[in-house]
Amino acid sequence: MFCGTAIGMASSASVNSTSTIACKIALIAPAGANLGNPMTYLAKPKLHHPSLTQNKVCHNRRDYEGRISSLCAGCGHDSISAAIIQACFEMDVEPHRVAKLSGIGCSSKTPDYFLGNSHGFNTVHGRMPSVLTGANLANRGLLYLGVSGDGDSASIGIGQFAHVMRRGVNMTYIVENNGVYGLTKGQFSATADQGSKSKKGAINTDTPIDMISLALQMGASFVARSFSGDKQQLVPLIKAAIAHQGAAFIDVISPCVTFNNHPGSTKSYDYVREHNEAVNRVDFIPPRAEIVVDYAEGEVVEVEQHDGSVLLLRKAHGAHDVHDRIAAMNYVATHQAKGEVLTGLLYVDDEAVDLHHHLNTIDAPLFSLGVAELCPGPAVLAKINAGLR
Amino acid sequence: MSAVIAVPPAISAVNDFVVKFANVNGSGSASANELFAKAILRMGVPVSPRNIFPSNIQGLPTWYEIRVTAQGYLGRRGGVDLMVAMNPQTWNQDIAEIAPGGYLFYDNSKPLPTGKFRQDIHVIGMPLTEISNATYAEPRQRQLFKNIIYVGALAALLGIDTKVFQKLFAEQFKGKEKLLDANTQALHLGRDYALAKLPRIGLKVMPLDAVGEQIFVDGNAAAALGLVYGGATVCAWYPITPSSSLAEGFQSYCQKLRVDPVTGKHRYAIIQAEDEIASIGIIVGAGWNGARAFTATSGPGISLMTEFLGLAYFAEIPITLLNVQRGGPSTGMPTRTQQADLLCCAYASHGDTKHVLLFPEDPHECFEFAAAALDLAERLQTPVFVMSDLDIGMNQRLCQPFSWDENRHYDRGKVLNAEQLEASRDFGRYLDVDGDGIAYRTLPGTHPNKGSFFTRGTTRNVYAQYSEAGPDYIANVQRLLKKFDTAKTLVPQPVLRAAAQPTRYGVIYFGSTSPAMHEALDALQADHLHLDAMRLRAFPFPASVDAFIAAHDQVFVVEQNRDGQLRGMLINEQQIDPARLVAVLHYDGTPITARFIIAAIGKHLRKV
Ligand SMILES: Cc1ncc(C[n+]2csc(CCOP(=O)(O)OP(=O)(O)O)c2C)c(N)n1
Ligand SMILES: [Mg+2]
């Protein structure tokens, strides 16, 4: 048994609410379950754990789980954790090769609830991007997963969000977007709808920030939106983002059942289900795997990423070109004006390069270098001294 | 040849005077002035130059003050013996600063600027613009060579051998023969005019052998080099005077010393971040992930970093900060020096936090402490500050050469590798296994199923599991105190200078006060006022500080801030009776002088 799971089980004793247990079930949804409706998989009892089959790196799905979630039952964030678990398991990611970082918020607590064998870092509010950047600079050999909230990334952290995208840090950056500050109990975040009413009755008059548009503008090289309740769309998007060798951003609408799930909220389960305009559906094919297509020709577009992985895009209506950043910005803006929530892969640069490329850093992780590689030694110092006389 | 000026009495001094250049920024004066300073050094005579540059866009006046000091007193002396007034804008102020009997050297190509004038100084006019314009056609050349012409004239007036300049030019313009010839020509123009037409003056430079092996370098460049030697690989910073040249220095040293010879790839990563919050966030991430990471900043930057400093303290992340102190606040005195960030760094952040501070006295120690800070940060798993200041950081200072032991290794602290984890039975990130308050840490990616943990502030137990339990919190912060005690034994220890005879008086000082203090102690001793002196080099304070204070009836605490910040820390941290500690405080933004210390301590001692 792996220690991460063992600790997770032990600490579950301290979690008292039964609702959190129900919530936890989202984390262990079976691979083959009908995932179209989020409520169906949320309700799966824990005992029906899927077969503990192992993936190519000899881990079963449980090895990708974390501690018991302490979030509210039905929280969209827990579904996203489940999607991350599924994506990493199916992608044969070695859990300990992932570093998961977050800011502060309910969303930012979630890295404790998945990938228990990965190191995680719950940093400060709105500043996860800088910490992730530094971690990535120190060790380019790991996979970086940044998890944040809309308050964390669009309110207090909008500056760092913008700059981490500009720099092209190789990472998967997920915003669990509920349009509200969950952890501090329901204040508006910067993505809250204009005119919407808080649980306490306040009206939001500020213009909402669209994270997708911002990420596109700032140069993110992989930009997607999804819905916590649509695992079929979300899981392949997460896989594709992980495979992407650059700044990958996924805005995941994640309803807050306690503070922002009321009728009219564009971040509620009902609204998103009714207004979800899926641009495309992505199937993720790992590098070197055989591509078997069973879609009608013309419907499917193949996108090969830098690492050899292939994204099969089943396009819905329209002919949005995922390689055209400007078109993506227009497309998003046009649909937003109509009140539609555009989901799917909106932009990808197959030839993306990352910050290490720009900085021309050596291939070996910087943290692993020792005195022999780093210290010029006394002879060079003697020369430097001589030049200073 | 004119006669020696006799009335009013002219200052007469050999190898012991102050020259101040008043210039307009961007006129190329900086390199000419530095050339002048270096020439005196090459004659074996110590000099101590200081840049004085107000944060003022209008006309950008700048000054360069050189103290020529046979005795090697490198603190600012105060007063000016020879003013080289090249900036009409600051004319009145410059004239007023000259000591009675001192000299004014100016460009008399145009009539004297109107304004106050003094009868007690000696005026030496030279048609610098005229000479330069007659010789050079291009405007830029006229400007640049005018500077070299005045250096040539001053060299003649002060008796500096032109051969010294010849050698300096040869080094500077190696392979650029044209420039070498042109500069030599300009220098000779100035020299010849001075020898033929200018009066002789009472200030002289005579060859001496008082420089030896010492090097001439600014503290920021020295710290940058120390960070390269100490193995820093990640730097994140945001420009701010007076620390910018430190990060820029790191960049340029890395370009020379840290590029893989085969692939051309970099063994370092430097990010000019969007602000200081991001700067520290980046190094916190890098430190968490095992790289030696630092930021360089000044007071306003520290203010922005304080939330992260708390996290780094409680989550026990090694990071190194170089704070080149200046006067506060953000619209304060950015181009003036102070030691006024002690409290804000020592206790930066919310909650019960304390941080390790190192106090370098000069560029040599900037190099040493920058490298040491990287070791200490990893050994102690905590933020470590190197508290430099503008006076040390941005002025070239004569100091001991840098040294590096061939066998020196980096202390990477308590980090468990995969084999150690494999062999371990009970890994707890915050378990005090060794009893020194320092727990073992693991780096991401080390082991498939052992040693991973979720890093957060204080809401956790020794196994890094979520906990808000009071006893867990207390046990943790008590361990952090124990770790701080351990730090006392690891930081650079104080340096003592015993008085010539037993005394009841002591003095404590630190950082850039050092050269002025040495000079003051010599003078006080000559005046039969004896004090034992202790130079603090780090916080937390080791037990020897208590012993030193206990051994004296009264101890002066000399510092460059208004509130006696170090004195307050001594009182609070070491439980010292405040009556025993006499504050000597200098905080007008200029570097402290021996004259100031002598007056303050002298007055007090004569009273008793
Ligand atoms: C500097 C600072 N200010 C305020 C807070 C309080 N705070 C904690 S979480 C949060 C909002 C989180 O909102 P969001 O990122 O949307 O996360 P959610 O809980 O909705 O998932 C705030 C304001 C804090 N932790 N730090
Ligand atoms: Mg939120």
Report CB contact under 8 Å: B284, A96: no
Residues in A closer than 8 angstroms to B401, CB to CB, are: 385, 388
Residue contact B293–A361, C-beta within 8 A = no
Tell whether the model's pLDDT for residue A46 goes beyond 80: no
- The percentage of residues in chain B with a pLDDT greater than 90, rounded to a whole number, is 89
pLDDT at A293: 59
Say how many CA atoms lie within 13 Å of A81 toward its Cβ: 34
| Chain B residues within an 8 Å CB radius of A124 | 281, 307-308, 311
Q: Using a CB–CB cutoff of 8 Å, tell me whether A381 touches chain B.
A: yes
Q: Is residue A368 part of a domain?
A: no
Q: Is A386 domain-assigned?
A: no
**Distance of residue A306 Cα from the nearest chain B Cα, in angstroms:** 21
Contact B277, B305 (CB under 8 A): yes
> Do B594 and B519 meet the contact criterion of CB atoms below 8 Å apart?
yes
If one compares A37 and B138, the residue with the highest pLDDT of the two is B138
Residue B7: pLDDT over 60: no
> What pLDDT score does A317 carry?
62
**Residues 189-228, chain A, touching B (beta carbon < 8 A):** none
Is any Cβ of chain B less than 8 angstroms from the Cβ of A127? yes
> What pLDDT does B463 receive?
95
Give A240-263 pLDDT, tens digit per residue: 999 999 999 999 999 999 999 988
The pTM (predicted TM-score) of the whole model is 0.92
Q: How confident is the model at residue B89 (pLDDT cuts 50, 70, 90)?
A: confident
Nearest CA in chain B to A360: B265
Residues of B in contact with A95 (CB under 8 A): 448
Instruction: Name which of A48-57, B136-145, B350-359, B423-432 the model is least confident about.
Output: A48-57
CATH number at residue A81: 3.40.50.970
* CB distance A298 to A263 below 8 Å: no
Helix (H, G, I), strand (E, B) or coil at B246: helix
Superfamily (CATH) of domain B13-204? Pyruvate-ferredoxin oxidoreductase, PFOR, domain III (3.40.920.10)
User: B151 by DSSP, 3-state: which?
Assistant: helix
pLDDT digits (tens, 9 = 90+) for B410-436: 999 999 999 999 998 889 999 999 999
Check if A260 has its Cβ closer than 6 Å to any atom of ligand 1.
no
Residue B467 is which amino acid?
Answer: S
State the residue range of the domain holding A305.
12-261+290-359
How close B309 gets to chain A, by Cα (Å)? 11
Range with lowest mean pLDDT among A11-15, B406-410, B592-596: A11-15
Query: Mean pLDDT in chain A?
Result: 85
CA dihedral A255, A261, A267, A268 (to 10 degrees): 90
**Atom number of ligand 1 nearest to Cα A77:** 21
Q: Is any Cβ of chain A less than 8 angstroms from the Cβ of B125?
A: no
In a domain, A389, yes or no: no
**Element (DSSP H or E) covering residue B218:** strand B215-218
* Average pLDDT of chain B to the nearest whole number: 95
Q: Phi/psi zone of residue B408: left (φ > 0), alpha (ψ -120 to 50 degrees), beta?
A: beta
Tokens 């390269």: give the residue: B228
User: Using the beta-carbon criterion (under 8 Å), do A369 and B233 form an inter-chain contact?
Assistant: yes
pLDDT value at residue B265: 98
Q: How far is B163 from chain A (nearest CA, A)?
A: 16
Q: Does B88 touch chain A (CB under 8 A)?
A: no
Q: How, if at all, do strands B203-204 and B13-14 pair? A: parallel
Residue ranges covered by each domain of chain B: 13-204, 217-399, 418-490, 495-607
Q: How many residues does chain A have?
A: 389
Long-range CB pairs of B477-480 (<8 Å, 24+ gap) are: B477/B352, B479/B430, B479/B432, B479/B437, B479/B439, B480/B313, B480/B314, B480/B437
CATH topology of domain B495-607: Rossmann fold (3.40.50)
Q: For position B496, what pLDDT does the model report? A: 98
What is d(CA B260, CA B240) in angstroms, rounded to the nearest whole number?
30
Three-state DSSP class for residue B495? strand
Residue B589 Cα, gap to closest chain A Cα (Å): 28
CA distances from B551 to B196, B503, B546 (A): 62, 9, 9
Nearest residue by C-alpha to atom 1 in ligand 1: A125
B2 at interface of A, judged by CB pairs closer than 8 A: no
Report the interhelical angle of B565-574 vs B543-550 (nearest 10°): 100
Cβ pair A96:B401 closer than 8 A: no
Residue A16 lies in a domain: yes
Per-residue pLDDT tens for B215-259?
Answer: 999 999 999 999 999 999 999 999 999 999 999 999 999 999 999
Higher pLDDT, A295 or B571: B571
A36 falls within a domain = yes
Lowest-confidence segment of A14-18, A134-138, B258-262 by average pLDDT: A14-18
CA distance A119 to chain B (A): 5
**Cβ neighbours, 10 Å, residue B352:** 13
- Atom 12, ligand 1: which residue's CA is nearest? A105
User: Would you give the distance in Å from CA B394 to the centre of its chain?
Assistant: 6
Dist CA B255 CA A305 (whole Å)? 33
Whether residue B466 lies within 8 A of chain A, CB to CB, comes out as yes
Tell me, in angstroms, the distance from the centre of ligand 1 to residue B36's CA: 58
A146 touches B: beta carbon within 8 Å: no
Q: Does A217 contact ligand 1 (Cβ within 6 A)?
A: no
- The verdict on a CB contact (< 8 Å) between A362 and B271 is no
Beta bridge partners of residue B320, listed in sequence order: B294, B384
Is the C-beta atom of A240 inside 6 A of ligand 1? no
Measure the CA–CA gap between B163 and B150, rounded to whole angstroms.
Answer: 17
Ligand 1 site-directed mutation target among A125, A153, A173, A204, most atoms within 8 Å of CB: A125
What's the rounded Cα separation, in Å, for the pair B242 and B280?
18
A161 CA from centroid of ligand 2 (Å): 15
- What is the CA B555 to chain-centroid distance, rounded? 25
Number of Cα atoms under 13 Å in the Cβ half of residue B71:
12
pLDDT value at residue B60: 78
Residue A217 CA to ligand 2 center (angstroms) comes to 22
Which chain A positions have a beta carbon within 8 Å of B281's beta carbon? 123-124, 127, 129-131, 133-134, 160
Q: Looking at the complex, does the CB of residue A121 fall below 8 Å from at least one CB of chain B? A: yes
Q: Which residues in chain B touch residue A163, judged by CB atoms under 8 angstroms apart?
A: 273-274, 278
Please work out whether the CB of residue A150 comes within 6 Å of at least one atom of ligand 1: yes
Q: Does residue B15 come out as left (phi exceeding 0), alpha (psi in the -120 to 50 range) or beta? A: left
Residue A109 lies in a domain: yes
Three-class secondary structure assignment of chain A:
CCHHHHHHHHHHHHCCCHHHHHHHHHHHCCCCCCCCCHHHHHCCCCCCCCCCCCCCCCCCHHHHECCCCCCCCCCHHHHHHHHHHHHHHHCCCCHHHEEEEECCCHHHHHHHHECCCCEEEECCCCCHHHHHHHHHHHCCCCEEEEEEEHHHHHHCCHHHHHHHHHHCCCEEEEEEECCEECCCCCEECCCCCCCCECCCCCECCCCCCCHHHHHHHHCCCEEEEEECCCHHHHHHHHHHHHHCCCEEEEEEECCECCCECCCCCCCCHHHHHHHEEECEEEEEECCCCCCCCCCCCCCEEEEECCCCCEEEEEECCCCCCCCCHHHHHHHHHHHHHCCCEEEEEEEECCCCCCHHHHHCECCCCHHHCCHHHHCCHHHHHHHHHHCCC
What whole-number percentage of chain A has pLDDT above 90?
69
Task: With beta carbons less than 8 A apart as the criterion, state whether B165 and B149 touch.
Answer: no
Residues A36-53, mean pLDDT to the nearest whole number: 47
**Which residue, among A280, A289, A227, has the nearest Cα to A253 in the 3D structure?**
A227
- Asked, colleague to colleague, whether B217-399 and B495-607 share their fold, the answer is yes
Q: What is the pLDDT at residue B369?
A: 98
Residues of B in contact with A135 (CB under 8 A): 285-286, 288-289, 444
pLDDT given at position B8 = 67
Please give the CATH architecture assigned to the domain spanning B217-399. 3-Layer(aba) Sandwich (3.40)
Sign of CA dihedral B76, B80, B83, B89: positive
Q: Between vectors from CA B454 to CA A73 and to CA A240, what angle results, nearest 5°?
A: 70
Interface membership of B577 toward A (CB under 8 Å): no
pLDDT at position A11 over 50: no
Residue B113 has pLDDT above 90, yes or no: no
Name the domain count of chain A: 1
Say if the Cβ atoms of A127 and B278 lie within 8 Å: yes
Nearest ligand, measured from the Cα of A182: 1
Q: Does the pLDDT value for residue B464 go beyond 60?
A: yes
Mean pLDDT calculated for residue range A191-218 = 93
Q: What is the DSSP letter of B199?
A: P
Q: Which residues is B557 bridged to in the sheet?
A: B508, B583
pLDDT at A141: 97
Residue type, A206: D
> Where is average pLDDT lowest: A271-280, A301-310, B264-273?
A301-310
- Calpha distance A205→A208 (Å, rounded): 9
Ligand 1 center to A180 CA (angstroms): 9
CB spacing of A374 vs B287 below 8 angstroms: no
pLDDT value of residue A48 = 45
Do A82 and A69 touch, CB atoms closer than 8 A? no
How sure is the predictor about A298, in pLDDT bands with cuts at 50, 70 and 90? low
Distance CA B213, CA A385 (A): 9
Residues 264-283, chain A: which have Cβ within 8 Å of B?
A: none
B335 with B389: CB under 8 angstroms? no
pLDDT digit string (tens) for B537-553?
999 999 999 999 999 99
Residue A216: phi and psi, rounded to 5, are: -65, -45
Searching chain A, which residue's CA lies closest to the CA of residue B426? A3
For residue range A367-379, what is the model confidence (pLDDT) as tens digits? 999 999 999 999 9
How many other CB atoms sit within 10 Å of the CB of residue A203?
10
Task: Find out whether the beta carbon of A181 lies less than 6 Å from any atom of ligand 1.
Answer: yes
- Give the model's confidence band at A49: pLDDT under 50 very low, under 70 low, under 90 confident, else very high: low
Determine the pLDDT at residue B363.
98
Nearest partner of A318 among A307, A331, A330, A306, judged by Cα: A331
